């Protein structure tokens, strides 16, 4: 079974600063996908970024980038130039290549302050 661990329940960052959210996972699979989802207060969960395990290059989406360390089973999310709208719960998730189920971590609550 796969497990996803987010060790930071809460974090805060000042506007325009950079913040990194941690995620580790445990799996015996070699090929899989990793995701970061964002859930703003009282809003839907939306996909922020996705990483295929077979790709060595770290995924980036505008101000969001990941540091994927396959050997260490680590998948951290870096948010650059933080904005007030980045305030949200952030969930790290794992999916097997042949699966349908997202396996989530407990989430990190990020607060961006002015």
Binding segment toward another protein, per CB under 8 A, in 15-23, 61-69, 74-82, 97-105: 97-105
Least CB distance to another protein at residue 13 (A): 23
- Which residue in 10, 15, 47, 62 binds another protein (CB under 8 A)? 47
Instruction: Give per-residue burial for 82-112: e unless 16+ CB within 10 Å, then b.
Output: beeebbbbbbbbbbeeeeeeebebebbebeb
Binding segment toward another protein, per CB under 8 A, in 13-21, 66-74, 75-83, 105-113: 105-113
């Amino acid at each position: 079974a796969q497990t996803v661990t987010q060790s930071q329940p809460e974090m805060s960052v000042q506007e325009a600063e950079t913040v990194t959210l941690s995620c580790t996972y445990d799996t015996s699979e070699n090929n899989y996908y990793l995701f970061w989802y964002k859930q703003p207060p009282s809003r839907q969960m939306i996909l922020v970024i996705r990483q295929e395990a077979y790709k060595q290059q770290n995924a980036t989406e505008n101000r969001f980038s990941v540091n994927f360390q396959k050997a260490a089973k680590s998948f951290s999310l870096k948010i650059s130039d933080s904005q007030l709208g980045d305030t949200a719960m952030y969930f790290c998730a794992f999916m097997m290549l042949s699966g349908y189920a997202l396996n989530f971590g407990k989430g990190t609550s990020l607060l961006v302050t002015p």
